[in-house]
């Protein structure tokens, strides 16, 4: 009977650590980790969509009014400095997820190992994805489009 109590105690410690880590530990499908875990899961799904060249699905993480305008292949080329068709995402690991003090902005950092199929070069790259929402009850949306689209400085500001 003591071993059952010990097992339950250890399981409780593990699930507590998984929750406070923001879902960094596997939770067997349990909804543990709150919004930080949700952002990790969203980032995981987004990178997998890019890996398998499902650009329409990758655009779906943006706000509904921006999804049709998001050019994921262009943004991938800006992120990885190579054409999407020559990009092979070999592996990736989500390093951290963080939410600001307002609970309205979040970011997730990943390390991604990619291969340029055209030249055979393998490299590792860090990727930071940013998310926002309109209220604490609203869904999270990625801001990849807005952070990468502008190619020149703001003409209204002094440089």
Within-domain flag for 79: yes
Within-domain flag for 1: no
Mean pLDDT (the chain) is 84
Closest CA to 112 of 98, 131, 96, 126: 126
Within-domain flag for 20: no
Within-domain flag for 74: yes
Confidence check: pLDDT of 21 > 70: no
Confidence at residue 57, expressed as pLDDT on a 0 to 100 scale: 96
Confidence check: pLDDT of 28 > 60: no
pLDDT band at 69 (very low <50, low <70, confident <90, very high): confident
Within-domain flag for 153: no
The residue segments making up the domain with residue 71 are 34-148
Within-domain flag for 10: no
Residue with tokens 């490299």: 123
Within-domain flag for 9: no
Within-domain flag for 143: yes
Higher pLDDT, 13 or 61: 61
Confidence at residue 156, expressed as pLDDT on a 0 to 100 scale: 72
Using CA atoms, how far residue 27 sits from 11, 30, 32, 78, 95, in Å, is 11, 5, 7, 34, 17
Asked if residues 112 and 129 have their Cβ atoms less than 8 Å apart, the reply is no
Quote the distance between the C-alpha of residue 77 and its chain's center.
17
Six token digits for residue 157: 């500001």
Confidence at residue 17, expressed as pLDDT on a 0 to 100 scale: 59
Six token digits for residue 14: 């593990």
Read off the CATH number of the domain in which 51 is found: 3.10.450.100
Q: How many domains does the chain have?
A: 1
- pTM of the entire predicted model: 0.75
């Amino acid at each position: 009977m003591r071993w059952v109590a010990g097992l339950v105690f250890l399981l409780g410690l593990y699930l507590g650590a998984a929750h406070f880590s923001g879902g960094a530990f596997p939770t067997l499908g349990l909804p543990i980790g709150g919004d930080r875990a949700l952002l990790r899961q969203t980032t995981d799904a987004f990178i997998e969509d890019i890996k398998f060249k499902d650009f329409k699905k990758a655009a779906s993480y943006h706000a509904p009014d921006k999804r049709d305008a998001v050019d994921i292949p262009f943004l991938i080329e800006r992120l990885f400095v190579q054409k999407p068709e020559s990009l092979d995402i070999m592996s990736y690991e989500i390093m951290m997820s963080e939410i600001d003090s307002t609970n309205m902005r979040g970011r997730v950092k990943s390390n991604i190992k990619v291969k340029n199929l055209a030249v055979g070069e393998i490299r590792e790259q860090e990727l930071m994805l940013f998310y926002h929402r309109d209220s604490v009850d609203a869904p999270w949306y990625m801001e990849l489009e807005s952070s990468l689209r502008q190619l020149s400085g703001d003409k209204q500001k002094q440089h």
